[in-house]
Amino acid sequence: MNKFIITILIFTVIISCSAFKKHEKPYIMLSTGSITSENAKRTEKIFTSGQRINIGLIAPEGFKDYGIRQQLSRQDEKTSNWGYTLIQSKDIFQDKTLKLYKDYIYIYRPGRYILQYFYINKKNYPFAHYEFSVRN
pLDDT in tens, 48-77: 999 999 999 988 888 888 899 999 999 877
Query: How confident is residue 47, by pLDDT bands cut at 50, 70 and 90?
Result: very high
Q: To which CATH superfamily is domain 23-135 assigned?
A: Macroglobulin (MG2) domain (2.60.40.1930)
Distances (CA, A) of 91 to 52, 109, 118: 21, 23, 9
pLDDT-based confidence at 121, cuts 50/70/90?
confident
Q: Tens digits of per-residue pLDDT, 11-36?
A: 666 666 555 556 688 889 998 888 87
The span from the CA of 49 to the CA of 129, in Å, is: 21
Beta bridge partners of 27: 58
SS3 assignment for the chain:
CHHHHHHHHHHHHHHHHHHCCCCCCCEEEEECCCCCCCCCCCCCCEEECCCEEEEEEECCCCCCCCEEEEEEEEECCCCCCCCEEEEEEEEEECCCCCCEEEEEEECCCCEEEEEEEEECCEEEEEEEEEEEEEEC
Amino acid, single-letter form, for residue 30? L
pTM of the model: 0.75
